[in-house]
Amino acid sequence: MDTQNLETALKNASGLIDQKLGEVLVVPDAPEGRVIEAMKYTLMGGGKRLRAFLCIQTAKLFNVEETHYARVAAAIECAHSYSLVHDDLPAMDDDDLRRGMPTCHIAFDEATAILAGDALQALAFTVLADAPLSTYAEAKRPQLLSVLAKSAGYVGMCGGQAIDLASTGESISLDELKRLHKLKTGALLRACVEMVAIVSEDLLPEAKVDLMAYAADIGLAFQVQDDILDVVGSSEKLGKPAGSDEALGKNTFPAKLGMEGAKRELEMLHDNALQALARLPYNTDSLIA
C-alpha cells in the first residue's frame, strides 16, 4: 500500500469509527455530563485511529462485514483512549500535551480525568457486549471480551505500564524492553487482529500462528517507530513535546541500541511481519503497508 492509499485508508477508518463512537457517546444535560465531556474530549480528540485501521484491514483479509467488525474496532479505541488518559496523569507520565491539545487532566481536572478513564474502559466492554455479530460470531462473544480484558489488564497494557514506571531511570536489558512494549503497546494492537479473526468464519486454525506472529511484530515495530520519532520529530508534528522520553528517563530503543540500531530493529520487525503474512493462505494485500 503506497503512502497516498495508506493515508486515505486511515482517513476512512477514522471516519467510520468516529461515527460509531458518536452513536454510543451522547453528552446528557445532567451532573455526570462533565465526565462524559472529558471522555468525548479524549475519544474524539484527533487520534490516527491506527487500531481501528488494523481491525478494518484484518476484516478485509477475511471478508468480514462492516456490521460485524465496526463495533469491535470502536471498543478497542475506547480501551486505547482510557489508557492515554491514565498514562498522562501526574502520578504516571505527567504529560500536559497529547495530540497537540492539553491532556484530559489539564483540560478538565485530575479527578474528572480519572473517572473519564475508568468510564472509557467500561464503555469499551459495553460497546463490545452490545455489538451486533453474525450468528457464527455470537458464540464467540465471551472470547472477544476475554481477549480485550487481557490486552488491557496486567498481562497487557497495565502490566506494561507498571514495568515502564518501575524501570524509569533504571537500565534494563533489550529483552526486558521488548517485553515491556509487547505488553504496554503491543497487546492491544495484537488484539485488533485477533478479535477480528475470531469473528471470521474463514480463519483456518493452522493460519492463526502466523497471523499472530505478524500482529506481534507490527505491534513492536510501532513502538520502535514511536521511539525514533520522539528523537527526530518536532513537537508540532508529534502533538507532544519532542524528546519527552529522554527527559523522563524512559527506556527506549534508540537509547538502548542507538539510532542506527533502532532503525535496524524496525526494519527487521517489518521484514519478519511480511514473512509471516507471506506464509498465510490468503490475499494479504490489505495488511501490507
Residue with cell 475470531: 198
Residues 210, 211, 212, 213, CA torsion sign: positive
Rounded to an integer, what distance in angstroms lies between the CA atom of residue 54 and that of residue 196? Answer: 9
Q: What's the confidence (pLDDT) of residue 33?
A: 86
- The 10s digit of each residue's pLDDT in 104-128 is 999 999 999 999 999 999 999 999 9
- The 10s digit of each residue's pLDDT in 30-46 is 788 899 999 999 998 87
Rounded to an integer, what distance in angstroms lies between the CA atom of residue 248 and that of residue 250? Answer: 6
Q: How many CB atoms lie within 10 A of CB 248?
A: 13
Rounded to an integer, what distance in angstroms lies between the CA atom of residue 119 and that of residue 143? Answer: 22
Rounded to an integer, what distance in angstroms lies between the CA atom of residue 136 and that of residue 139? Answer: 6
**Which superfamily does 3-287 belong to?**
Farnesyl Diphosphate Synthase (1.10.600.10)
- The 10s digit of each residue's pLDDT in 140-157 is 999 999 999 999 999 999
List C-alpha distances in Å: 134 to 65, 187, 200: 9, 25, 9
Q: What's the confidence (pLDDT) of residue 234?
A: 62
